[in-house]
A and B are shown apart, each in its own frame.
Chain A
Amino acid sequence: QKEVEQDPGPLSVPEGAIVSLNCTYSNSAFQYFMWYRQYSRKGPELLMYTYSSGNKEDGRFTAQVDKSSKYISLFIRDSQPSDSATYLCAMSLSNDYKLSFGAGTTVTVRA
């Protein structure tokens, strides 16, 4: 069993829809939870990160962490065609350590 499991997708949604992405994990020692966006032929870029449990909002993006359930989510409101990319969840034991990634979910937002 992998340390981080991510809903495989792919997802295809119409413009303006809410996109919901999810990951589960097995290592209860993870403290930092991240979401990365990766466009085709590019490296991952950090969207949001959260320390421990709770919610964090940044514009159209909301990240949720539930450590009791070992479950994290990313919501994209009012999705745009420019949001079409692969979204990777990642987790870390500390603030300066290796990242453990999920496999990624490819999202397509149709205009």
Chain B
Amino acid sequence: EAGVVQSPRYKIIEKKQPVAFWCNPISGHNTLYWYRQNLGQGPELLIRYENEEAVDDSQLPKDRFSAERLKGVDSTLKIQPAELGDSAVYLCASSLPGQGINGYTFGSGTRLTVV
């Protein structure tokens, strides 16, 4: 099993440019999460999907961030335009309904640097 796959692993962009991150969850995992981890901090939830539906996006800064999960499998998180404060690691996680916390699996993340 490949685990949760994220790409790219690293991204450096200039401020005001757009950027996108991609996540492929574990096969069969209906629930998908995007977290942001600032340097020296724990991850914070941005958005949670159940299949194609975003069931919790209350922490997503909607003025510049957007996300989609077409066909309930892969997901893309986009920032446009990026700001210096967006520099962080963006983590994707997935789980099976009913497995709950025990089945929560994180990817290795995309490290974004905005200069």
A interface, CB within 8 angstroms of B: 4, 6, 32, 34, 41-46, 49, 88, 90, 92, 94-96, 98-99, 101-104
Find chain B residues with CB under 8 A from A88 CB.
42-43
Query: CA A44 – CA B31 in complex, angstroms?
Result: 17
Count of interface residues, chain B, beta-carbon cutoff 8 Å: 25
Find chain A residues with CB under 8 A from B48 CB.
98
Question: Which listed residue (B44, B91, B98) contacts A43, Cβ 8 A?
Answer: B91
A-B pairs with beta carbons under 8 A, tally: 57
Query: CA A53 – CA B89 in complex, angstroms?
Result: 32
Find chain A residues with CB under 8 A from B45 CB.
98-99
**Quick check: B106 and A44 within 8 Å, CB to CB?**
yes
Question: Which listed residue (A43, A90, A96, A103) contacts B31, Cβ 8 A?
Answer: A96
**Quick check: A101 and B43 within 8 Å, CB to CB?**
yes
Find chain B residues with CB under 8 A from A101 CB.
41-44
**Quick check: A104 and B101 within 8 Å, CB to CB?**
no
Find chain B residues with CB under 8 A from A94 CB.
100
**Quick check: A49 and B102 within 8 Å, CB to CB?**
yes
